[in-house]
Structure 1
Amino acid sequence: MPLFERSGSRLSPTVEAERFHRKVERACIGLASLEAAAADIRLFGAGRLSVAAMPRLAGGLLARSVARFKRENPGVMVSIHAGDEGTVYKWIAEGFCEAGLTMLYGAQGSVQVDPVLSLDCVAVLPRGHRLARRAVLDPADLAGEPFVDAPVGNPLRVRIDAVFEAAGIRRSVAAEAGLGSAVCTLVAAGIGVGLMNPLAAYEEAKVSPIEIRRFAPALPVVFALVFPPLRAQDRLVAAFSACARPC
């Protein structure tokens, strides 16, 4: 089967030659794609990372970590999944996500835990509240104030209860909310004051009319990376873990 036709001093490809060329071209593109995929695997596994986080961590600390990671690894696709604390642990334990970022309140046997940051809880007040004149608040300052609390049984609620009981102060709980965003929304509406993790508080302060003040005694909250159990970290997860730590 001829692939070229002669016309005077010129050679022109036949229809069959054009068809053959297109097939070879597609095959070469396919080989190039395979080579690129192999390079991704050599560098970072499959070139994709799924990360779980609680909502306000997903928009704050995690977003900054992902931005740093992407600057160093622009070819890696990062997929973020937001859920409450229990959902994050479930996704990690089941292997749906390779890494997670959450607040650590106690032992978690179902996942591997790597603490990365510890910060103290802060008091949140409606904007213009009389207590906003103080730089630091304590349990006595909040005596008699309507309080927006975490739900009964929540690990943070247990710790807040212990602090106020030790100070001999009885809180007047006006409302309960499980998410930091909900706490801040209720506080901004004037329903009461609250105590919460500082990362969520400062993120919410960007969009809600609230005041943030230090609280004593210290109520530390540990932020941790979590990973699936019994699984060694690949280079992709290890690179992300490094980016999630404070510089």
Structure 2
Amino acid sequence: MNLRQLEILRAVVTFRTTVGAAERLGMSQPLISNTIRHIESVLGFALFERVSNRLSPTEEALILLEEAEPLFLLRDAVNQRATDLRVGRIGRIRIASTAELSEAVLPRVIADYARDYPRIQISLETRPLDSVLQVVENGVADVAFVLAPYERQALHYDSIADLRPVVLCDENDPVARLEAVGPRDILERPLIGPQVATRIGLMLADSFRSAGLDYRPNIETRFMNAAARIVREGWGVALIDELSAFTALRPGLVIRPYAPALPLELSAAMQKTKTPSRQTQRFIKAFRERVAIRLAEVRAESQRSIG
């Protein structure tokens, strides 16, 4: 017997008529009757007795249904799981990110998302840019959030926002009095910045070179959030992205725009050949909204009155 036949048997046992079973299952009454006769023929024993124009199940029929009940429960569980997947109540999201975004934006997005969708399994990998892009290419991560990525044939980039470099410094530092800070303004300052080996470090080095200067930070870091933390601990000025600067901000520190303005594209990277799941798309949307809020906050702070 297959599950459909068992379902017909259960409906007839429940309603005691083939008409009631047909209405319940959306089938014709003759088809219900023929199915019951076919099952009885295959099994070699009767499933019902007719009593006062109603069908009374035999003991054998009740035993069959009792044994079949786990199958119905499993079927219902599978259907419920399919519904949950369709409406986004369950699933998983595998995220990769560089350290800056793992500290500045993702913790809040993940926490909010986990509260809204508690049955979603979320994983976060924090890696250098090359490795972050690699795990998406290999299918290990569903999406990667990256700053200033470079083209890779297997990846599609969904632009989230354009960030800008800023200077994070003590409010008593001379550059804190400037409306915008250029390469020459921080040439003699104790500077912390991204390594030239990184893509953003190379972009900053080019901006120094355009001003006829060499980009030589006193302290180089791979990740810009580390540079921000050093300033927070009381040493130097950091040339970093605005999200990292805002995350490390404390009383006594200020953020100043860097000039020339360099767009640092913040993107969500995904495989070109794979359509992102509904959960992944929903998470990217939540990430985009959080970035917009954070950028409004940091840009308002960077325009704060100069002391």
Q: TM-score range by the shorter chain?
A: 0.7 to 0.9
> Where in structure 2 are there 5+ consecutive unaligned residues?
1-65, 293-307
Give the letter aligned to residue 136 of structure 1. Answer: A
Q: Is the 8 A contact 2:148 2:199 kept in 1?
A: no
Q: Does 1:139 align with 2:212?
A: no
- 1:211 maps to which residue? 254
Q: Name the structure where helix makes up a greater proportion of residues.
A: 2
Q: What's the CA shift string for 1:204-227, capped at 9, x where partnerless?
A: 225x97432111110211100011
Moved over 6 A (4+): 23-28
Q: Are the aligned partners of 2:90 and 2:119 in contact in 1 as well (CA < 8 Å)?
A: no
Deviations 1:57-116 (A, max 9, x none): 123323444456556655433322222222211211111111121112432323221111
Greater shift in the superposed pair: 43-52 or 175-184? 43-52
Aligned to 1:88: 132
- Shift of the 91–105 alpha-carbon distance from structure 1 to 2, 3 Å rule, reads closer
User: Structure 1 residue 37 and structure 2 residue 81: aligned?
Assistant: yes
State the AA in 1 paired with 2:197: G
Alpha-carbon distance in structure 1 between the residues aligned to 2:115 and 2:219: 42
Decide which structure has greater strand share. 1
**CA deviations over 1:134-190 (Å, ceiling 9, x no partner):** 232112211222322322322112111111121123445312110112212333455
Could you say which structure has the greater relative contact order, defined with CA pairs below 8 angstroms and 6 or more residues apart?
1
- Select the residue among 218, 226, 230 that pairs with 1:174: 218
For residue 119 of structure 1, report the CA deviation from its aligned partner: 1.6
Secondary structure (helix, strand or coil) at the match of 1:144 reads: coil
Partner of 1:228: 271
Q: Share of identical aligned residues, percent?
A: 21
CA distance in 2, matches of 1:175, 1:54: 20
Q: TM-score, normalised by structure 1?
A: 0.77
Give unpaired runs (5+ residues) of structure 1.
1-20
User: Do 1:124 and 1:187's aligned partners in 2 also have CA atoms closer than 8 Å?
Assistant: yes
CA distance in 1, matches of 2:69, 2:123: 33
- Per the normalisation by structure 2, the TM-score is 0.63
- Structure with greater Cα Rg: 2
- TM-aligned CA deviation for residue 129 of structure 1: 2.0
Alignment map for 1:191-210 (pairs within 5 Å)? 191-205=235-249, 210=253
RMSD across aligned C-alpha pairs, in angstroms?
A: 3.0
CA distance in 1, matches of 2:82, 2:228: 47
Which residues of 2 match residues 9-158 of structure 1 at below 5 A? 30-44=74-88, 47-66=91-110, 69=113, 73=117, 75-126=119-170, 128-158=172-202
